[in-house]
């Protein structure tokens, strides 16, 4: 190539005796410094929520922009996909229904389930909601226009949006619920958790998964400790029988001389872990045998067992989030739990205004993977599709997204708008893991985008704290995507099936997206 000629888009460097493209950085100049990590974060690019989104725009405006610009939309400093913004737009406009007469029923624990029924036309499956209260009542509500077909039906009231002309339409689409006599029992103390096996509580239910049962725990009282139960959901319910009682399907597996704050179970429902005021214990649900996997002076308020069933996350009263290996040790090895001195983070010591530098904890734990939040841990949720990520909330209102591999660097994402000071409030993540929901002490219900951190919905829908929440069990699309059907179309079809339940002292609530 001739030297020194002016070529469009290039410049000539005499010292290097070659041409360089003008659009790239000029050799020898400094590049902008980009923070690097050992792993990339597929969910978030920043710990700050996006300053602009399309959720405030009309749907027609969003569709118009897509027609003009395609499936990639331009925001102030980033680009986003149309489908993501459209789903966030949908999530920001839920319809919320409250069921009359369900007060003091679902303020301690809540879990949607699938149950089998004997009917006059044969056996069928239907949706139900298993709820527990602070006063110790465990209830199974049938979901449908006539509930279970027997007993008492509860009618819904539209509480959001507060538009009178929408009420008539809301009743047409509303899911009524019902409860049969015998489908509610009084436990020995307050309910503390209701858990389903991870596989059963995800999107997919199939005939090969025959271990369908729920793990129920009670908190304990002044006269007795907490207990762990198994509720069988395998056999069909015969609600028409006059002798029916949900207590007939309850089996007490183990009892403790301490308070049980929380629990979780593995995908086979063969073992469970419980969080207590003395630490964390593993329970064999077949034999009832128990073994302590973590002991300490700080209560375990939140737990999450990973998909492998080998590791649990424990959220402590002192704000620490510990990773505990619960695999059985080889025979002949020492059975005593290893004692650790865990240093508090400087941030934690500053918040608590204490000079204490460390706390003691015994167990097979990894101190290097410890994370700290400013206050006691309220809830933990591991993500299924991004198995290295988990969400955590604290009792000061903090909601954070963490990476197991980068806990020392702090959270990857924060979620603003949550109000809490001392209450144990559940986080709930939808089956597609796009959104997280939680109530607050200000009685607001909030929905955030997990990926962007945007607060999509924040409204007062209850007169008391919405402390329990769960997205409804949704079956996957039965057919597999073919070559002509795009993945976006499948995601759009799934998004139309969003439903969620939450409970407060005022009663049981249902959310759906019309």
**292-344 residue pLDDT tens:** 999 999 999 999 998 888 899 999 999 999 999 988 664 444 468 899 999 88
So what's the pLDDT on residue 284?
95
Q: Which of 57-66, 296-305, 344-353, 425-434 has the lowest mean pLDDT?
A: 57-66
Query: Omega of the bond prior to 161 within 30 degrees of 0, cis?
Result: yes
Sheet containing 311-316: order of strands: 300-305, 311-316, 320-325, 371-372
Q: What is the pLDDT of residues 438-475, one digit of tens each?
A: 999 999 999 999 999 999 999 999 999 999 999 985 54
| Beta pairing partners, 304 | 313
Ramachandran assignment for 463, one of left (phi > 0), alpha (psi -120 to 50 degrees), beta (any other)? alpha
CA distance 195 to 202: 12
Percent of the chain with pLDDT over 70: 70
Whole-prediction pTM value? 0.80
Give residue 31's pLDDT band: very low, low, confident or very high (50, 70, 90): very low
Q: Hey, how many other C-beta atoms are within 10 angstroms of the C-beta on 5?
A: 9
Q: What is the mean pLDDT of residues 120-130?
A: 86
Q: What is the pLDDT of residue 34?
A: 38
The CA-to-CA distance between both ends of the chain, in Å, stands at: 65
Determine the pLDDT at residue 492.
45
H or E segment to which residue 172 belongs: helix 167-173
Mean pLDDT value of segment 403-421: 92
The radius of gyration computed from the CA coordinates of the chain, to the nearest angstrom, equals 26
Predicted pLDDT at 121: 78
* Whether the Cβ atoms of residue 78 and residue 438 lie closer than 8 Å to each other: no
HSE-CB for 380 with a 13 A CA cutoff: 33
pLDDT at position 173 over 70: no
Q: What is the pLDDT of residue 485?
A: 43
pLDDT for 42 = 64
Q: In the structure encoding, which two tokens stand for residue 81, read together?
A: 């996909």
- Kindly write down the DSSP assignment for every residue of 179-196, as one continuous string: E-TTSEEE-SS-EEEEE-
- pLDDT(200) > 70: no
pLDDT at 146: 57
Q: How high is the mean pLDDT of the chain? A: 80
pLDDT at 432: 87
């Amino acid at each position: 190539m001739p030297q020194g000629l002016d070529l469009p888009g290039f410049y000539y460097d005499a010292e290097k005796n070659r041409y360089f493209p003008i659009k790239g950085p000029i050799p020898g100049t400094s590049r902008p410094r980009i923070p690097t990590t050992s792993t990339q974060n597929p969910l978030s690019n920043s710990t700050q929520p996006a300053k602009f989104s399309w959720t405030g725009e009309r749907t027609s405006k969003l569709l118009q922009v897509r027609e003009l610009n395609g499936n990639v939309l331009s925001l102030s400093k980033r680009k986003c996909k149309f489908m993501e913004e459209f789903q966030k737009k949908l999530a920001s406009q839920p319809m919320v229904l409250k069921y009359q007469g369900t007060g003091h029923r679902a303020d301690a624990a809540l879990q949607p389930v699938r149950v089998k029924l004997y009917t006059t036309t044969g056996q069928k499956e239907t949706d139900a909601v298993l709820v527990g209260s602070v006063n110790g009542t465990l209830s199974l509500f049938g979901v449908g226009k006539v509930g279970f077909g027997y007993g008492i039906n509860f009618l819904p009231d539209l509480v959001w949006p507060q538009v009178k002309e929408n009420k008539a339409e809301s009743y047409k689409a509303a899911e009524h619920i019902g409860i049969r006599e015998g489908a509610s029992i009084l436990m020995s103390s307050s309910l503390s958790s209701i858990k389903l096996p991870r596989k059963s509580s995800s999107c997919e239910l199939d005939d090969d998964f025959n271990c369908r049962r729920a793990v129920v725990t009670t908190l304990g009282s002044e006269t007795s400790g907490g207990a762990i139960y198994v509720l069988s959901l395998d056999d069909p319910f015969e609600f028409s029988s006059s002798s029916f009682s949900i207590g007939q399907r309850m089996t007490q597996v183990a009892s403790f001389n301490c308070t049980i704050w929380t629990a979780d179970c593995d995908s086979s429902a063969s073992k469970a872990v419980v969080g207590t005021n003395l630490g964390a214990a593993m329970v064999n649900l077949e034999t009832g045998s128990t073994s302590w996997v973590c002991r300490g002076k700080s209560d375990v308020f939140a737990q999450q067992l990973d998909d492998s069933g080998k590791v649990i996350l424990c959220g402590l009263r002192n704000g620490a989030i510990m990773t505990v290996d619960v695999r059985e040790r080889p025979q002949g090895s020492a059975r005593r739990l290893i004692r650790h001195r865990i240093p508090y983070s400087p941030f934690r010591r500053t918040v608590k205004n204490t000079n204490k530098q460390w706390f003691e904890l015994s167990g097979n734990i990894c101190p290097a993977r410890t994370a700290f939040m400013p206050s006691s841990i309220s809830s933990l949720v591991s993500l299924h599709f991004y198995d290295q990520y988990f969400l955590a909330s604290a009792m000061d209102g903090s909601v954070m997204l963490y990476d197991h591999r980068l806990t020392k660097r702090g959270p990857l994402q924060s979620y603003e708008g949550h109000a809490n000071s001392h209450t144990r409030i559940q986080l709930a993540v939808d089956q597609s893991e796009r959104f997280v929901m939680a109530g607050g002490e200000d009685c607001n219900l909030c929905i955030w985008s997990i990926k962007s951190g945007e607060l999509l919905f924040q409204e007062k829908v209850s007169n008391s704290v919405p402390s329990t929440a769960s997205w409804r069990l949704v079956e996957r699309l039965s057919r597999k995507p073919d070559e002509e059907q795009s993945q976006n179309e499948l995601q759009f079809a799934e998004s139309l099936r969003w439903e969620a339940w939450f409970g407060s002292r005022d009663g049981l609530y249902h959310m759906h997206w019309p």
